[in-house]
């Protein structure tokens, strides 16, 4: 890939990578307004309902430690696509969780997928745009990612008020599916190309 000038569609590539990176954060902030509804539905205290967020945060942090080596060993694209698939699976399972324990397990699965998205999106920026432009593109990506905590609670709270907390996970499932389809069609493997350039 020619790194001297922007490739056609590079803005779409940035937006796609930013959206995938932001999905990990969205799964936290969209759910916060729905925590009282989860507590009420399962008949648990709000402190226990907050474990839905804390378990996800732990899984997101731990998942990145695992995703990093996998990205170098298996490639960027397979890890990203597998991560998005896990994210979808976890979100869908959470939407139908019959008990709090199942909800927490589903959140761990979703978090592991979100971690893959965070890691691969940042690594692919370096692969695609090279050292000279990667810093600027990373800044743009992070600016887009940082918008999500401001927007996600509003969206999540509105959806939860209208359709219940399970609908929030339904929306996250749909967002993950859209991201998976987009990544499948628009994001090729970038690790091998970078290795070839280094030779």
The rounded distance, in Å, linking the Cα atoms of 59 and 121 is 18
Q: Residue holding tokens 């399970």?
A: 166
| Share above pLDDT 70 across residues of the chain, in percent, rounded to a whole number | 90
- pLDDT per position as a tens digit, 60-98: 999 999 998 999 899 999 999 999 999 999 999 999 999
The rounded distance, in Å, linking the Cα atoms of 48 and 1 is 50
pLDDT level of residue 116 (50, 70, 90 thresholds): very high
The per-residue pLDDT for 199 is 38
Token pair of 75, please? 């490639």
Other C-beta atoms closer than 10 Å to the C-beta of 173 total 20
**pLDDT greater at residue 5 or residue 42:** 42
The per-residue pLDDT for 48 is 92
Q: Residue 188: left (phi > 0), alpha (psi -120 to 50), or beta?
A: beta
Enumerate helices (H) and strands (E) in the chain, giving the number of each. Answer: 8, 0
**pLDDT greater at residue 15 or residue 94:** 94
Q: How far is CA 48 from CA 31, 38, 42, 72, 136, in A?
A: 14, 10, 10, 37, 41
């Amino acid at each position: 890939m020619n790194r001297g000038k922007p490739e056609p569609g590079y803005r779409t590539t940035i937006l796609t990578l930013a959206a995938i990176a932001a999905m990990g954060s969205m799964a936290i902030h969209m759910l916060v307004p729905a925590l009282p509804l989860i507590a009420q539905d399962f008949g648990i205290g709000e402190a226990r309902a907050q474990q839905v967020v804390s378990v996800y945060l732990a899984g997101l942090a731990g998942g990145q430690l695992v995703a990093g080596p996998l990205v170098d060993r298996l490639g960027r694209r397979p890890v990203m696509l597998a991560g998005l698939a896990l994210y979808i699976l976890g979100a869908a399972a959470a939407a139908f969780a019959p008990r709090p324990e199942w909800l927490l397990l589903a959140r761990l699965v979703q978090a592991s997928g979100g971690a893959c998205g965070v890691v691969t999106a940042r690594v692919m920026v370096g692969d695609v745009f090279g050292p000279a432009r990667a810093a600027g593109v990373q800044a743009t990506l992070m600016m887009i990612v940082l918008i999500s905590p401001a927007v996600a609670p509003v969206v999540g709270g509105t959806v939860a008020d209208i359709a219940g907390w399970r609908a929030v996970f339904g929306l996250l499932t749909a967002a993950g599916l859209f991201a998976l389809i987009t990544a499948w069609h628009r994001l090729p493997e970038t690790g091998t190309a970078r290795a070839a350039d280094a030779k």
